[in-house]
């Protein structure tokens, strides 16, 4: 095996590995934070809020219209993001056909990475895979949310015991998980896009992205109002 042949990819591989380490560390930090204080992690707090919301909607049918409108807005947001993913995939495929003319311009700022056109195509393939992953999750979010729209308006009666608050809430949270993962795939596109310009930019973009996404913990002790 000719090791010298792959030596030019060292910096790019190191940068890709560091990106994975930062993202994995970010996810582990969120899980640890959620176990210690669930309210400090937005996704965990939102899951609990959806459980309460479903129970309130299915108990008080005067808010059934509000529930349908809320689910419709969620479906419209997922539909918009899924359509955006398709357009971005078309754009990435267009770049693959113009690799010869674009790579010289894009590599102008590439100081530490390789200029091999094959690696540039691998970067575009990573973009396509992330966009397809995002599209898949947004489509599933639409599918599950549409089903929940019918379930949440069913009156709680002995003959419909199957459609309990807990079951409907679990399906709503499942659809929300698809939506959240799709958004996360969009976040992961940022370092991959900067990787097209060089591995150093990918590391910097990943560090900034993780810093921005870190939950802001309020360390101020709660203040209690003394009632007279």
* Spatial contact of 77 and 71, defined as CB atoms under 8 Å apart: no
pLDDT, residue 132, reads: 94
Q: What is the pLDDT along the chain (228 residues), one digit of tens a residue?
A: 455 556 667 788 888 899 999 999 998 888 888 777 766 677 777 888 888 888 887 776 556 777 888 888 999 999 999 999 999 998 888 877 665 666 666 666 666 666 666 777 888 888 999 999 999 999 999 999 988 888 887 765 555 556 677 888 888 899 999 999 999 999 999 999 888 888 888 899 999 999 988 876 555 544 433 333
35-40: list long-range contacts, CB under 8 Å, 24+ apart.
40/215, 40/217
Q: How many residues does the chain have?
A: 228
Query: Which spans in 10-109 are helix H?
Result: 10-36, 42-59, 64-97, 99-106
- Show Cβ contacts of residue 165 under 8 Å, excluding neighbours closer than 6 positions: 51, 54, 55, 58, 59, 156
CA-CA distance, 98 to 33, in Å (whole number)? Answer: 45
The gap from C-alpha 101 to its chain's centroid, in whole angstroms, comes to: 32
State the pTM of this model.
0.81
Per-residue confidence (pLDDT) for residue 180, from 0 to 100: 92
Asked if residues 42 and 149 have their Cβ atoms less than 8 Å apart, the reply is: no
- The answer to whether the beta carbons of residues 126 and 192 sit under 8 Å apart is yes
- Cα torsion 52, 172, 127, 25: sign: positive
What DSSP character marks residue 108? Answer: G
- In the chain, where the domains are located: 8-213
């Amino acid at each position: 095996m000719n090791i010298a042949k792959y030596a030019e990819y060292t910096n790019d591989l190191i940068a890709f590995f560091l990106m994975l380490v930062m993202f994995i560390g970010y996810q582990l930090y969120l899980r640890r934070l959620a176990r210690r204080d669930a309210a400090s992690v937005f996704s965990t707090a939102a899951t609990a809020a959806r459980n309460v919301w479903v129970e309130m909607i299915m108990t008080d049918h005067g808010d059934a219209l509000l529930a349908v409108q809320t689910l419709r807005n969620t479906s419209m947001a997922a539909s918009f993001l899924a359509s955006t993913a398709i357009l971005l995939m078309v754009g990435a495929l267009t770049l693959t056909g113009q690799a010869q003319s674009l790579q010289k311009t894009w590599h102008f700022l590439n100081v530490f990475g390789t200029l091999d056109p094959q690696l540039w195509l691998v970067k575009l393939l990573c973009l396509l895979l992330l966009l397809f992953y995002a599209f898949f999750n947004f489509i599933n979010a639409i599918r599950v949310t549409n089903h929940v729209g019918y379930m949440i308006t069913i009156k709680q009666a002995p003959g419909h015991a199957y459609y309990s608050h807990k079951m409907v809430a679990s399906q709503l949270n499942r659809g929300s998980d698809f939506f959240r993962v799709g958004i996360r795939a969009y976040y992961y596109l940022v370092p991959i896009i900067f990787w097209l310009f060089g591995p150093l930019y990918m590391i910097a973009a990943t560090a900034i992205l993780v810093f921005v996404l870190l939950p802001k913990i309020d360390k101020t002790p709660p203040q209690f109002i003394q009632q007279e």
